[in-house]
Chains A and B, each alone.
Chain A
Amino acid sequence: MTLAEAQALFHAAMTDGELPPGAVEACFVGTSRLSAQDRIAIHADMWFARQVEALRTEFPALSACLGEQRFARLCRGYLRAHPSDHHDIGRLGRHLPDFLRRHPAGERSDLGDLAELEWTRSEVFFESKAEAIGRKALSTLRPDEFARARLRFVPALRLLSLAHPAHEAWLGAVRGGGGGKAPARTELAVWRAGHEVFHAPLDRNEALALRAALGGAALLDVCARFAAVDEPVTAGFVALASWIDEGWVAAVERPGLG
């Protein structure tokens, strides 16, 4: 048997692949205490347990919502559909939110959004560091520059648009309770400050403005997203100031400077 054949057989045996009868015994040494199949099962169990543990680490709230057995069942289906293709086991769960939306776990249709929030928190945790600016940076803009200036954001910031209030489900799970959440359009900002990750819901106008700013819109366009509110100038100023205060903004790019 070549090295390639041996590895293919080992992998198939370990991951419930189809093998002819007796193939495992013909390739591996068994003893009266532990047959060749028993020995393969040790690796198969470790393979599965390690990946479930990695997913539980990334999705603690989801895991708490489902309980140990249902979470393990979810993982088995997920791993079949999305075997790991990255050397970092911490990347294993990146398809889980979409998988859950396509294959809901039981009666809870909100868990895909909860998983997306947890995965985003994990991504933000590992994003590269960038210095944030203070409010003073905005005040250095000349009035004629303000409208055409653009904001550059720190890498550790995401804006999620979800069909359910995943932040409420997350809080419920963290506090050890809480059931499924009814659908409600929810915009969440997720960001890191120091070594801690935070998330918070944004109202619709602020979310529209932030999405525009993240997409590279000029400040005039960003502020225009508040046109429909009672005091648009105040609302726009408050939003910009809070983005800066939270450490989301890495730079104000003057017009013409890219």
Chain B
Amino acid sequence: MSLARPALGHGIGLRTRHFPEFLAERTPVDWVEALSENFMAAGGRPLDVLAKVRRDVPVVLHGVSLSIGSVEPLSERYLSDLERLVRRIEPALVSDHLCWGTHRGQYVHDLLPLPLTEEALDHVAARVRQVQDRLGRQLLLENPSGYIAFRDSTLSEWEFLAELSRRADCGVLLDVNNIYVSSRNLGFDPVDYLEGIPAERIGYVHLAGHTDKGRFLLDSHAAPVPEEVWALHRLLLRRLGRVSTLVEWDDEVPPLDELVAQSHKAAEIEAEVLEEPGRLAS
């Protein structure tokens, strides 16, 4: 099966601070990504906002708690809540992270890294297929930001993700900021990562800012997309052509206009790259 890759355009994350504007006005971007777990409740304002936004533009559901890499069984409660939300919202895409985040029934609410081994690859691929069968649709997995590596790893993260997408027939949500952050923290060439993911598997792209903590970069989502991430995104666009992008900003969230301006910048950069001499616009 090939990846269903809708041309969504350029979007932003749906954050509580902007709920009043989203309720009062037409959504000012091409599409919106909503954190799945924030909208699994039975009712309340968040669901009303999401329903209104969904009437305006396409919505992508992006989860943080699927824990696809955990050795524990997938949570039936989580899958059931996600399934209900998917039916309710009819999202353009459903994504989560290549990570684990549960242990002995406890949630750590963090995106923990996996040892990049054949055992982990088999395990995650089987679970992705299980989720896809349950939801009746493809899942996209995002590369997490990396701070630590396992000595037992035998594959690079891009090799792991590329092979996983093939074995499980799933998509990749490529976070360019995470690639940059991980490359600095773990010591690899980010261009190798960009080139190592099969283009046809990339469903959409995350762009975000990070914070320099001195000895490491933190994937803080608390700043505009920095120039080094835009530079990597340009390289990616030269390889992929047109691709849907999403600007994330989760901490110290700016006014909506400022966030929308970041999304417009993603559109402008895409137009510039696609118009470069010798490049056919896709």
Question: Which residues of A are in contact with B by a Cβ distance under 8 Å?
Answer: 1-4, 6-8, 10-11, 14-15, 26-29, 31, 33-34, 36, 38-40, 42-43, 46-47, 50-51, 54, 83-90, 92, 125-129, 155-156, 192, 195
Binding site for A on B (CB under 8 A): 37-38, 40-46, 48, 65, 70-71, 75, 77-78, 81, 100, 103-110, 112, 114-115, 117, 119-120, 123, 147-152, 185, 187, 215-216, 218
Known contacts A1-B152, A39-B148, A50-B109; A33/B42 CB under 8 A:
no
Please indicate the chain A residues that have their CB under 8 angstroms from the CB of B149 in the complex: 28-29
Could you tell me if A128 and B42 are in contact, using CB atoms closer than 8 angstroms?
Answer: yes
- Residues from chain B with Cβ under 8 Å of A34 in the complex: 185, 215-216
* A220 vs chain B, min Cβ distance (A): 32
Contact residues in B for A50 (Cβ distance below 8 Å): 109-110
Closest 3 CB pairs of A and B: A128-B43, A87-B65, A39-B148
Q: Is the CB of B119 within 8 A of A10?
A: no
Give the A-B pair count, Cβ closer than 8 A. 116
- Across the interface, name the chain B residue whose C-beta is closest to A127: B43
- Contact A47/B42 with A7-B71, A29-B148, A88-B65 known, Cβ cut-off 8 Å: no
Q: How far is the CA of A128 from the CA of B45 in the complex (A)?
A: 10
Contact between chains at A3 and B117 (CB < 8 Å): yes
Subset of 9 A-B contacts with CB under 8 Å: A3-B119, A27-B151, A28-B149, A47-B110, A51-B109, A84-B107, A88-B38, A89-B109, A192-B44
A51 → chain B, closest Cβ, in Å?
6
B45 touches A7 (CB 8 A): no
Check if A86 sits within 8 Å of B107, measured CB to CB. Answer: yes
**CB proximity of A88 to chain B, nearest CB, Å:** 5
Given A4-B71, A42-B216, A28 contacting B44 (CB threshold 8 A): no
Among B78, B100, B107, B117, the most chain A Cβ lie within 10 Å of the Cβ of: B107
A65 to chain B minimum Cβ distance, whole angstroms, is 23
- Which residues of B have CB within 8 Å of A90? 37-38, 41
- Contact yes or no, B151 A28, CB < 8 A: yes
Residues of A within 8 A of B148 (CB): 28-29, 36, 39-40, 42-43
User: For residue A1, which residues in chain B have a CB less than 8 angstroms away from its CB?
Assistant: 115, 152
User: Across the interface, do B123 and A3 meet the contact criterion of CB distance under 8 Å?
Assistant: yes
Q: A2-B119, A6-B115, A127-B44 are in contact. Are A26 and B110 (CB under 8 A)?
A: no
11 more CB-based (< 8 A) A-B contacts, given A28-B148, A42-B216, A87-B107? A3-B114, A11-B108, A14-B108, A27-B150, A31-B187, A34-B216, A50-B110, A87-B40, A87-B65, A129-B43, A195-B48
